[in-house]
Amino acid sequence: RRGPSFEATHELATGPVASPPATVDGFVREFLDQLNFGQGVKLSQSTINDQYMALARTVRSYLMASWLETGHRRRKEETKVVGYLSAEYLLGRQLGNNLLASDLQDIADQAMERCGIDMAAVRGQEVEPGLGNGGLGRLAACFVDSLATMDVACIGYGIRYEYGIFRQTFVDHRQVEEPDSWLRLGSPWEFPHPERAVQVGFAGHTETYADEQGRERTRWAPAWQVRGVPYHYMVPGFRNGVVNTLRLWSAEANQAFDLQTFNRGDYAQASRAEIFAENISKVLYPDDSTPQGKELRLQQQYFFVACSLRDFIENTLPRDFDLHRLPERIIFQLNDTHPVIAVPELMRILVDEKGFDWDEAWGITRRCFAYTCHTLLPEALEVWPVELLGRLLPRHLEIIYRINEEFLLEVREAFPGDEGRIRRMSIIAEQPQRAVRMAYLATVAGAKVNGVAELHSQLLRDDVLPDFNAMWPDKFTNVTNGITPRRFLRLANRKLSSLITDTIGDGWVTDLDRLRELEPYANDPEFRRRFREVKAANKARLGDLLQVRDGVELRQDHLLDVMVKRLHEYKRQTLKLLHVVSVYEGVLSGRTPVEQVTPRTVLFGAKAAPGYHMAKEIIYLINAVAAKVNTDPVMDGRLQVLFPANYNVTLAEKVIPAADLSEQISLAGKEASGTGNMKFALNGALTIGTLDGANVEILDLVGEDHFFLFGMTEPEVEQLLQRGYVPSAYYDQDPVLKATIDLIGSGHFTGGDPGAVSAVLDNLLNHDPFMALAGFHAYLGAQDRVERAYADPEGWSRSTILNVARCGFFSSDRSMRDYLDRIWAPGQA
Ligand code: GPW
């Protein structure tokens, strides 16, 4: 419970918190104060890191009044809060974003210049918090940005991993993972609040007892407890005086170590509990879309949702709040199934701790949660073995069993006698082992269930959760993903932003549909010329970066063809690679005169989960092909393959604005949405893509003349599977494909060793679960169309401008509006 140390002390404040003056003088003064009094150094002695820390703290101090004011207003206004529960937030660097949000960019630039400080170097000092794997984590970061910009009350809850997503390097073409010690030099953006720590229990047993009224009650006696310490991060809206909060939890031991054991000389034993507790938030699991079912992962999940629920109920709501009205004040949005253990946790709090009847508690719980599913891959759906869950969270397993029992009664009532359906819908799977299906639990408990693109939401209803859809059709809805235009256009592409603002004003930054006003300019030769100038400048900027970062040269006269995303077979990086090798093979074999090859640089960026063997083999093959193709004189430099290591948000912000062609080539029905696809289109790259995820919606909006579509539809994929897919038949029948694969199989790229590529080739020829060989021919045809279109710069520019003009829909502000209308506050618009 709240102790005296937690009492607010507003009485002591004399008035509103004052920001430093928003002038160059004011900024310099605050900066020097931060340097002298915060870092304890003089300007003349300061390191780049001192300067970065002081600059970050300066920006912070300008945002502080808004943060305190927003918090104060939220406490007063008693509105419903969005509690966004996400195990991942892939934030990217904070300094640039916070300068942008507070409109201090120009002032800061001038202030640094006056101090003789190299602003670019100082910005380069920031290590991005990589607290996410890929799309799902970056989506969460975009969503909290939009909610702040729209002044929606939101608390983002998550985990403050001490180590984020690993740093990738390549050694002999193979991925090597290094720990991401992002906190090594300290983070100026976080505010630890140890006084707001909460306790979280694990393991132990449950027992029943009779309360004062003689009612039978259950209580959980955990075997051990850890402390969750919240770290607060500012989430500023775009120049609107709003700063929301991201609250990330760090696990600590209750007692630093056992002094008596230490004094007895057993040093290892003395710190065992401490190590145990601190392991919980030590490191982000690097598996994207492939849960490993590890006990520590479940500990992480329970840890952060238990902290978050406790925090909201005990510390955020008014002290005497009547929990019967909880759904009026909170909606917990479950970012995939990772936080779903929050459902039995809320039931436990209401029933065991607050003494609610089961039915009453369930009625409340069902209105406090909504669930977003982000996948269609069966292997990505989390299940927790009953044995493990029962050992770690015995009370929660009992609660899940009871939820399931009562749910199955409901099913029986709706579909009498349909035992098959009941078995199919059970939250508890019996095979291959007894396990809790977290997506089913989320669907049963959630007031709403949504997919992340139109096609995905449809397939979710039809294929993943059809029985649930039959039972509760109104529960299902769609919210197509979005991206924040602040980071991914205004910040990452300042030149294009200026061109847009010069043309239509700056309203687009918070109202992205206004980009439509650019449409007429697609026909204006002068505008097209300026648009191409912007692209060229962005390409030059990327070239400078890659020179320094990776020691490679980016050819400025090439078409820049980019495929950046996690390495997954379903995303089909191998299909892109087959295209590359086919171009090379064509020249090598004399089929194509080298002068006919469109000068092109193919840029890959991708991390593989460390335990995903096939993905790592594909990384090796990409690097091996790059090494050969880039140096073989036969290509005359016309084909370059670059694979800068450690693709992350920081690199994305440089790559995306420079790209000409965006590769979105997953097998139809596999990519839930994709969000990179939106970022490229919004930055004036054209898409080559399949009818998958949000590509479908991009195509609809930009029109088929401005999108290179190829490949099967999802039903066609299903039909081919039904007929029996034989990948080797494509190899046998397509001479280009055969020559391409044979060149790889000959060991040409691997120093004459065919064995080095056999795993990938064997998989392609004999299994090819994502039908790369079936897609090859059509993909090459689409690439031919790309080259013909690129040969006409005016036509290409026209298309890219129309892409930008027509992609306003993909603002995450629109996604948030849709969540509000369809899920969080329906009927209140
Ligand atoms: F498997 N996504 C992701 F659904 O980045 F949980 N990590 C994940 O673990 C999962 C999904 C999960 C991605 C989807 O693959 C991508 O299509 C989507 O655009 C993104 O989540 C955001 O919705």
Q: What is the pLDDT of residues 745-754, one digit of tens each?
A: 999 999 999 9
The confidence band for 165, taking pLDDT boundaries of 50, 70 and 90, is very high
Give the pLDDT confidence of 335-357 residue by residue, as tens digits. 999 999 999 999 999 999 999 99
pLDDT recorded at residue 256: 66
| Ligand 1 nearest-atom number relative to CA 568 | 15
Highest mean pLDDT among 12-16, 690-694, 751-755: 690-694
Give the pLDDT confidence of 17-67 residue by residue, as tens digits. 899 999 999 999 999 999 999 999 999 999 999 999 999 999 999 999 999
pLDDT recorded at residue 640: 98
What distance in Å separates the CA atoms of residue 490 and residue 511, rounded to the nearest whole number?
13
pLDDT at 11 over 80: no
SS3 call for 98? helix
Give the mean model confidence (pLDDT) for residues 99-128: 98
Ramachandran region, residue 711 (left: φ > 0; alpha: ψ -120 to 50; beta: rest): left
Residue in 372, 675, 740, 750 annotated catalytic: 675
What is the CB < 6 Å shell around ligand 1? 133-136, 139, 288-289, 336, 374-375, 380, 452, 481, 671-675, 693
What distance in Å separates the CA atoms of residue 470 and residue 246, rounded to the nearest whole number?
37
Assess contact for 796 and 790: CB atoms under 8 A.
yes
pLDDT at 3 over 80: no
pLDDT recorded at residue 13: 52
pLDDT recorded at residue 459: 98
Say whether 675 is catalytic. Answer: yes
pLDDT recorded at residue 269: 81
pLDDT recorded at residue 260: 83
The confidence band for 12, taking pLDDT boundaries of 50, 70 and 90, is very low
| Tokens 């990589």 found at | 130
Assess contact for 408 and 402: CB atoms under 8 A.
no
Residue in 196, 437, 566, 568 annotated catalytic: 566
Six-digit token pair at 91?
């934030």
Six-digit token pair at 737?
């494909």
> Which has the closest alpha carbon to 808: 520, 514, 518?
514
What distance in Å separates the CA atoms of residue 323 and residue 312, rounded to the nearest whole number?
12
Residue type, 391: R
pLDDT recorded at residue 261: 81
Assess contact for 397 and 389: CB atoms under 8 A.
yes
pLDDT at 720 over 50: yes
Assess contact for 263 and 306: CB atoms under 8 A.
no
Give the pLDDT confidence of 427-475 residue by residue, as tens digits. 999 999 999 999 999 999 999 999 999 999 999 999 999 999 999 999 9
The confidence band for 259, taking pLDDT boundaries of 50, 70 and 90, is confident
Q: Residue 82 pairs with which residues in a beta bridge?
A: 154, 331
pLDDT recorded at residue 368: 98
> Which has the closest alpha carbon to 774: 680, 710, 705?
710
Helix axes 735-745, 772-790, angle to 10 degrees: 110
Q: Is the dihedral of CA 501, 481, 661, 129 positive or negative?
A: positive
pLDDT at 4 over 80: no
pLDDT recorded at residue 264: 87
The confidence band for 5, taking pLDDT boundaries of 50, 70 and 90, is very low
Say whether 654 is catalytic. Answer: no
> Which has the closest alpha carbon to 243: 404, 370, 70?
70
Domains and CATH numbers, the chain: 1-77+105-127 (no CATH), 81-93+128-479 (3.40.50.2000), 486-817 (3.40.50.2000)
pLDDT recorded at residue 354: 98
What distance in Å separates the CA atoms of residue 369 and residue 333, rounded to the nearest whole number?
6
What distance in Å separates the CA atoms of residue 424 and residue 717, rounded to the nearest whole number?
25
- Look at the chain and count its residues: 829
Six-digit token pair at 815?
């996604």
pLDDT at 237 over 90: yes
Assess contact for 201 and 392: CB atoms under 8 A.
no
| Ligand 1 nearest-atom number relative to CA 456 | 17
Residue in 74, 227, 374, 494 annotated catalytic: 374
Give the mean model confidence (pLDDT) for residues 169-189: 98
What distance in Å separates the CA atoms of residue 141 and residue 484, rounded to the nearest whole number?
9
| Tokens 């029996």 found at | 724
Say whether 616 is catalytic. Answer: no
Residue 136 Cα to ligand 1 midpoint, Å, equals: 5
pLDDT at 522 over 90: yes
| Ligand 1 nearest-atom number relative to CA 380 | 1
Residue 138 Cα to ligand 1 midpoint, Å, equals: 10
pLDDT at 107 over 50: yes
Name which residue leads in pLDDT, 504 or 268: 504
pLDDT at 9 over 60: no
Give the mean model confidence (pLDDT) for residues 710-728: 98
Give the pLDDT confidence of 771-815 residue by residue, as tens digits. 999 999 999 999 999 999 999 999 999 999 999 999 999 999 999
Q: Count how many Cα atoms sit within 13 Å of the Cα of residue 189 in the half-sphere of its side chain.
A: 25
| Ligand 1 nearest-atom number relative to CA 338 | 6
pLDDT recorded at residue 829: 55
Residue 148 Cα to ligand 1 midpoint, Å, equals: 23
The confidence band for 10, taking pLDDT boundaries of 50, 70 and 90, is very low
- Reading across the β-sheet that carries 428-429, which strands appear in turn? 383-385, 435-437, 428-429
Give the pLDDT confidence of 138-158 residue by residue, as tens digits. 999 999 999 999 999 999 999
Q: Residue 190 pairs with which residues in a beta bridge?
A: 233
Six-digit token pair at 791?
């040969």
Residue 707 Cα to ligand 1 midpoint, Å, equals: 24
| Tokens 């985990």 found at | 159
